[in-house]
Structure 1
Amino acid sequence: MPVPGSRPTTRSAALLVTGLLTAVLATGCGQDDDPSVAAPSTAPTSAPVPTPSAASATAGSPTPAASTPAAVDREITVTIAKKRITPPTGRVTVTKGQSVRITVTSDVADELHVHGYDLGARLPAGKPGSVEFRADKTGLFEVETHETELVLFQLVVR
């Protein structure tokens, strides 16, 4: 029911602006409040990528050890020392559907973040942190650190 003295177009515009503001705020890049930021480890921070041996294991056959890292299609390793990124910042292209592991070692404590996939990992000084995921979204995604605000590379998924 219309509110006396208000026009439907004014209310519609107000609802549209409110919705847009909510969407912009929801997609912002949070730091410590990001639930996807994981403790440092080589364990995946998203759904695990099944390994062929785990998927084909039959009853009575031995299962792979829990400490065995999952097989990935693309391993990307980055090192940060004195704010210098090795290999230098650029684009890394992967095929949609590939499993990807990004491992970063930084000389200062920081947080790794993969935009678009909203994945992250803590990076304690001198120790590697990793994220592992299935590249199921196409596009261009920045991979960065939060504290030092370094763009490590741009992930291109085709």
Structure 2
Amino acid sequence: MKRADIAFAAVGMVLLAGCSQASAAHAVTGCSSAAPGTVTVTAAVLDGRADPAPHRVAVPLGGTVQVQISADRVRQVHIHGYDLEYDAAPGTPGCVSFTADRAGLFDVEAHPDTLLVQLEVR
């Protein structure tokens, strides 16, 4: 196997091992028990609606955020501004943990158009 093929295969294995898509700058990891100080956000999508109703969650700049979404059918969850996308499905909540390294107001949506929560990073 050529060196380039080995490097490509290694990158592919790393991408497949993760639970979401993101740039390396966001330190994305899968979800498990949240570390102390982690802002944990949970929501569900039921019949196309957010449960609880969409609301804002304060997140300190540089803090760790864990977002876990349950769904009654397969949904793609997107965290805008951080370009994180992952799936949530019945019995398999979608979950992502990342470092909030950008200040602003960021929507977490179940696509195509269900606002679940807004992350207010400051």
TM-score normalised to structure 1 length: 0.56
Q: CA RMSD in A?
A: 2.6
Instruction: Tell me the residue number matched to 1:93.
Output: 58
Instruction: Tell me the residue number matched to 1:150.
Output: 114
Structure 1 residue identity aligned to 2:55 = G
Structure 2 residue identity aligned to 1:113 = H
Whole-angstrom distance in 2 between the partners of 1:132 and 1:96: 14
Map of 1:56-95 to 2, 5 A cutoff? 69=33, 71=35, 73-95=38-60
Q: SS at the partner of 1:88?
A: coil
Q: How many positions carry a matched residue from both structures?
A: 101
Whole-angstrom distance in 1 between the partners of 2:33 and 2:58: 23
Q: Which runs of 5+ in 1 are unaligned?
A: 1-37, 50-66
1:137 aligns with 2:102: yes
Percent identity among equivalent residues? Answer: 36
Instruction: Tell me the residue number matched to 2:88.
Output: 123
Looking at secondary structure, tell me which structure has more strand per residue. 2
Any idea what the Cα deviations from partners look like across 1:63-83, whole Å, max 9, x if unmatched? Answer: xxxx96452611101011112
Q: SS at the partner of 2:53?
A: coil
Map of 1:101-120 to 2, 5 A cutoff? 101-120=66-85
Contact 1:110–1:125 (8 Å) recurs in 2: no
Q: Which consecutive aligned stretches of 4+ in structure 1 deviate over 6 angstroms post-superposition?
A: none
Map of 1:31-70 to 2, 5 A cutoff? 47-48=27-28, 69=33
Give the number of the structure whose alpha-carbon radius of gyration is greater.
1
Whole-angstrom distance in 1 between the partners of 2:21 and 2:91: 20
